[in-house]
Amino acid sequence: MTERLKVHVDPDKCQGHARCKALAPELFELDEYGNAHEAGDGIVPPGLEDKAWLAKSNCPEIAIDVIEE
Amino acid sequence: MSDVSQPVAHPPVTDWVNDFDHTDPQWTEDPFPIWDELRAASPVVHTERFLGCYMPTTYEAVREIANDTEHFSSRRIIVRDVRPEVARNAAPPITSDPPVHKPAKQLLLPPFTPDAMKKLEPRMRAICNELIDGFIADGKVDAAARYSKYIPVRAIAHMLGIPESDSDLFINWIHMILELGIKDESKLLQAAQEMSAYFSAHIEERKTKPTDDLISYLMNARDKEGNPLEDSHVLGSLRLLLIAGIDTTWSAIGSSLWHLAKTPADRERLLAEPALIPTAVEELLRAYSPVTMAREVVKETTISGCPVKAGNMVLLSFPAANRDPKMFPDADKVVIDRRENRHAAFGLGIHRCVGSNLARMEMQVALEEWLKRIPDFALDPAGTVTWSQGTVRGPRQLPFLLGKAM
């Protein structure tokens, strides 16, 4: 059984590098300052798991968690 | 105008670990083996030069310092021979510490979001093509002097609402502030005064004729209490945007073209797979990060186990962090399809470069437009590549031969 993934951006760590939005635009949104948060409830739709891990491994502030549920 | 004048020399370095100097010609030409030597010696090294200066050599030590605003102040952000009196509102937010940093930063962020940059992209493509039109028929070009140099300066001039035709004036100020000014305070002061007079005139003009640009944006900004920014804050932020917006990206574009000129396999791969350009740009940013910032130690502490004492400066080398093999496998190699790349080229922590989205867009567009029109190019063996010194690293002369017949 495939595990469901969820992404979460720590708002205290995010500094607006916007790498997550560039690499996984379906999973992240930016506010008016360019700081990121997860889109909706953060649940990763099937097929986008790779993008979630890619966003996590490219965040310079280590602000992204990928949670396996 | 002294765009080609050289900074004053220091005694040559013979002991890199204990007496390093980031303005030494050997460092300017090829810093990578020096950083490896320093990193092998210690996560933090020290020199008596520049009135006492530390340098973290690992990614971890750089991250620790970047995130520690209690012991490290941003009131001085460039390592120089002198420490002139700190001016109030020197260049907010980059010269600000908490708690005044946050509102100053939040003010500048909205005009530089990825969406805002998308609107600027067509103008950038046009600028790149105008520049290429100027030399493509010649068969050879100094790609730094005639291409990479003018892309960011024209972009930031466009955003600030000042004439793109004043670009050479701005470039000269940057050279005086970031290179000559490291060792010659009079050059630093002269450029700062000229720049303030220039912006003051533009501010005055907008009081009667408001415009739709970043100068007016700052003049119209209000704080939480509804008060306008102090004049010195407006001027300081304009100073920052101009200084930070020019030779940083000029250097990044130049280094990228330099790499592609001497690495035909990477050039051919990007020609065959243009969709890889954004990924390659991140790797080129990692491998040839242009910007080294500084901090001032204001309270004694330890970094990666090394004691650091107040009163010294810190050369916060994001470029050296990006070459740390503990953080990046094959750190000394350029891997243009590197997938995991949390490089620190735009800094880490609260001072993340406000223009990073602009710089990324400019780099992508500059490489895309160049490769579309000039798929074949190589370094001209009859010429010499030269590099800038000090705070920002990039090629200043970049002689290329264009086309297949070379």
How far, in Å, CA of A44 to CA of B58, rounded? Answer: 34
Task: Tell if the CB–CB gap between B109 and A21 is shorter than 8 Å.
Answer: no
- CA dihedral over B23, B27, B32, B33, signed as positive or negative: negative
**What pLDDT does residue B48 have?**
97
Residue ranges of E strands in B270-383: 293-297, 301-303, 306-308, 313-316, 377-379
Query: Looking at chain B, which residue has its C-alpha nearest residue A51?
Result: B339
**What pLDDT does residue B223 have?**
86
| B17 pLDDT tier (thresholds 50, 70, 90) | very high
Q: Quote the minimal CA–CA distance from B49 to chain A in Å.
A: 31
**What pLDDT does residue A69 have?**
86
B191 CB-near residues (< 8 Å, 6+ apart): B172, B173, B176, B177, B181
Contact in structure between B238 and B111 (CB atoms under 8 Å): no
Q: Tell me, what DSSP letter sits at residue A3?
A: P
Query: CA of B336: how far to CAs of B268, B331, B333, in Å?
Result: 12, 12, 9
H helix or E strand, kind and range, residue B252: helix B247-262
**What pLDDT does residue B89 have?**
87
Query: Looking at chain B, which residue has its C-alpha nearest residue A14?
Result: B349
Chain-centre distance for alpha carbon B183: 19
Of A15, A34, A60, the CB nearest to B114: A34
Q: Which residues of B325-337 are buried (b: 16+ CB within 10 A; e: fewer)?
A: eebbeebeebbbe
Residues B191-211: tens digit of each pLDDT:
999 999 999 999 999 999 999
From the list B251, B270, B277, the residue with the least C-alpha distance to B375 is B270
Query: CA of B270: how far to CAs of B256, B273, B275, in Å?
Result: 12, 5, 8
Task: Tell if the CB–CB gap between B340 and A34 is shorter than 8 Å.
Answer: no
Q: Quote the minimal CA–CA distance from B342 to chain A in Å.
A: 4
Q: Quote the minimal CA–CA distance from B112 to chain A in Å.
A: 8
Please check the confidence at residue B172 and state whether its pLDDT lies above 50: yes
Task: Tell if the CB–CB gap between A34 and B109 is shorter than 8 Å.
Answer: yes
Residues B349-388: tens digit of each pLDDT:
999 999 999 999 999 999 999 999 999 999 999 999 999 9
Query: Looking at chain B, which residue has its C-alpha nearest residue A21?
Result: B114
Q: Tell me, what DSSP letter sits at residue B322?
A: T
Strand partners, B377: B402
Task: Tell if the CB–CB gap between A18 and B350 is shorter than 8 Å.
Answer: no
What's the whole-number mean pLDDT along residues B157-168? 95
Q: Quote the minimal CA–CA distance from A43 to chain B in Å.
A: 22
**What pLDDT does residue B405 have?**
56
Task: Tell if the CB–CB gap between A33 and B109 is shorter than 8 Å.
Answer: yes
| B2 pLDDT tier (thresholds 50, 70, 90) | very low
Q: Quote the minimal CA–CA distance from B10 to chain A in Å.
A: 35
Contact in structure between B255 and B262 (CB atoms under 8 Å): no
Contact in structure between B15 and B37 (CB atoms under 8 Å): no
Q: What is the DSSP string of B25-93?
A: HHHHH--HHHHHHHHHH-SEEEESTTTSEEEE-SHHHHHHHHT-TTTEE-S--S--S--PPPPTTSSTT
From the list B34, B49, B271, B296, the residue with the least C-alpha distance to B182 is B49
B35 CB-near residues (< 8 Å, 6+ apart): B57, B317, B319, B320, B323
Please check the confidence at residue A1 and state whether its pLDDT lies above 60: no
Q: Quote the minimal CA–CA distance from B275 to chain A in Å.
A: 13
Residues B141-153: tens digit of each pLDDT:
999 999 999 999 9
Strands B313-316 and B53-56: parallel
Task: Tell if the CB–CB gap between B113 and A32 is shorter than 8 Å.
Answer: yes
Strand partners, B56: B44
**What pLDDT does residue B146 have?**
97
Query: pLDDT > 70: what percent of chain A?
Result: 97
Query: pLDDT > 90: what percent of chain B?
Result: 93
Task: Specify the CATH number for A5-68; select among 3.30.450.20, 3.30.70.20, 3.30.413.10, 3.60.70.12.
Answer: 3.30.70.20
| B1 pLDDT tier (thresholds 50, 70, 90) | very low
Query: Looking at chain A, which residue has its C-alpha nearest residue B63?
Result: A61
Mutation site, B339, B350, B351, B364, interface A, largest A CB count within 10 A = B339
Sheet holding B377-379, edge to edge: B140-142, B399-402, B377-379
**What pLDDT does residue A2 have?**
62
Planar angle of CA A22, A27, A31, nearest 5 degrees: 70
How far, in Å, CA of B207 to CA of B271, rounded? Answer: 49
| B4 pLDDT tier (thresholds 50, 70, 90) | low
Length of chain A: 69
Mutation site, A54, A57, A61, interface B, largest B CB count within 10 A = A61
Please check the confidence at residue B406 and state whether its pLDDT lies above 60: no
Mutation site, A10, A12, A13, A15, interface B, largest B CB count within 10 A = A15
Residue ranges of E strands in B102-249: 140-142
- Residues of B with Cβ-Cβ distance to A33 under 8 angstroms: 106, 109-110, 113
Of A15, A32, A60, the CB nearest to B350: A15
In terms of average pLDDT, the best of B87-96, B262-271, B396-405 is B262-271
Query: Looking at chain B, which residue has its C-alpha nearest residue A34?
Result: B113
Please check the confidence at residue B391 and state whether its pLDDT lies above 80: yes
Q: Quote the minimal CA–CA distance from A22 to chain B in Å.
A: 9
Residues B290-341: tens digit of each pLDDT:
999 999 999 999 999 999 999 999 999 999 999 999 999 999 999 999 999 9
- Residues of A with Cβ-Cβ distance to B277 under 8 angstroms: none
From the list B292, B288, B279, the residue with the least C-alpha distance to B351 is B292
**What pLDDT does residue B111 have?**
97
Residues B246-303: tens digit of each pLDDT:
999 999 999 999 999 999 999 999 999 999 999 999 999 999 999 999 999 999 999 9
Residue A38 DSSP SS3: strand
Query: What are the φ and ψ backbone dihedral angles of A29, each rounded to 5 degrees?
Result: -130, 155
